[in-house]
């Protein structure tokens, strides 16, 4: 098992919010593209 230092955990906790935010922005842009494209909703 790999030991994770307290410093690494602290850094991870500080950055996870930004990573989640960036991921959600990427998803939202993709959904906007899909919903804005012409064609039937079922395709």
Give the mean model confidence (pLDDT) for residues 1-30: 95
Q: Is the pLDDT of residue 43 over 60?
A: no
How many structural domains does the chain have? 1
pLDDT > 80? residue 40: no
pLDDT band at 2 (very low <50, low <70, confident <90, very high): confident
**Model's pTM, two decimal places?**
0.64
| Confidence grade of residue 12 (pLDDT, cut at 50, 70, 90) | very high
Tell whether 30 is covered by a domain.
Answer: yes
Give the HSE-up count for residue 18: Cα atoms under 13 Å, Cβ half-sphere: 5
In a domain, 43, yes or no: no
Range of the domain at 29: 1-35
pLDDT digits (tens, 9 = 90+) for 15-29: 999 999 999 999 999
**How far, in Å, CA of 33 to CA of 19, rounded?**
21
Scan for tokens 């990573």, then name that residue: 19
Structure letter (DSSP) for residue 42: T
């Amino acid at each position: 098992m790999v030991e994770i230092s307290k410093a690494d955990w602290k850094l991870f906790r500080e950055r996870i919010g930004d990573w989640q935010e960036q991921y959600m922005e990427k998803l939202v842009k993709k959904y906007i593209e899909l919903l804005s494209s012409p064609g039937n909703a079922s395709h």
